[in-house]
């Protein structure tokens, strides 16, 4: 073995370097221990405890419920679109205009009733009441118009019925039928 002779100043420097390295080692160890403690606390949230669910189990169950609710919302949205499409084709806009058809008869017993869907398709029923008889007429309506000439009262009834439905209808009937298919 060889011996190394150090003077006092060199030995002091080597000793100080050893102390500094030791202090740095203790600081690194303390930081590592603190981080390990935090990690252990975080891990304990994920561990199964007696009679308790883990955080991951709760998240998985919540995600399953969320997906089920989302599927139900999509089904409800589809059903609403189907109902809305069906309502557009139903004869749900009705207007009645009552009037005196004959000059010598009062009481407004005559009437024209328009029954149309959102597109203005439907029918108009007109009944003319007189002293001796009553006559009824039925005319087909397509797009708010008829192939048979309409009386002013019939036109008023159609306009009144369409006045309530035109605010809803922005697209062409064929466009909506294609979208709902």
Who contacts 101 (Cβ-Cβ below 8 Å, separation ≥6)? 110, 128, 129, 130
DSSP code of residue 150: P
pTM, to two decimals: 0.50
pLDDT at 8 over 70: yes
Helix, strand, coil percentages, rounded to 5, for the chain: 50, 20, 30
Name which residue leads in pLDDT, 162 or 27: 27
CA 167 to chain centre: 22
pLDDT of residue 3: 75
DSSP code of residue 142: B
Q: What are phi and psi of 91, to 5 degrees?
A: -85, 80
Mean pLDDT of 79-105: 84
What region, left, alpha or beta, does residue 70 occupy, with left being phi > 0 and alpha being psi -120 to 50 degrees?
Answer: alpha
Percentage above 70 pLDDT, the chain: 84
pLDDT of residue 40: 84
Who contacts 90 (Cβ-Cβ below 8 Å, separation ≥6)? 117
The residue to which tokens 């009834």 are assigned? 157
pLDDT, tens digit (0-9, with 9 covering 90-100), for 140-179? 999 889 999 999 999 999 999 988 544 334 444 444 444 3
Task: Specify which residues 98 forms β-bridges with.
Answer: 111
Q: Quick check: helix, strand or coil at residue 10?
A: helix
């Amino acid at each position: 073995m060889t011996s190394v002779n150090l003077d006092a100043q060199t030995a002091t420097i080597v000793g100080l370097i050893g102390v500094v390295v030791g202090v740095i080692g203790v600081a690194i160890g303390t930081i590592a221990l603190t981080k390990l403690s935090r990690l252990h606390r975080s891990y304990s949230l994920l561990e199964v405890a007696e009679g308790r669910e883990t955080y991951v189990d709760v998240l998985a169950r919540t995600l399953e419920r969320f997906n089920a609710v989302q599927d139900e919302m999509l089904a409800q949205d589809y059903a609403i679109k189907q109902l809305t499409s069906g309502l557009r084709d139903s004869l749900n806009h009705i207007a009645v205009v009552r009037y005196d058809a004959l000059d010598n008869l009062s009481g407004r017993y005559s009437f024209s009733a328009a029954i149309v869907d959102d597109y203005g398709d439907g029918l108009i029923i007109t009944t003319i009441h007189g002293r001796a008889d009553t006559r009824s007429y039925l005319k087909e309506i397509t797009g708010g118009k008829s192939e048979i000439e309409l009386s002013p009262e019939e036109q008023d009834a159609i306009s009144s019925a369409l006045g309530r439905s035109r605010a809803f209808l922005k697209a062409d009937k064929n466009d909506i039928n294609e979208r709902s298919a």
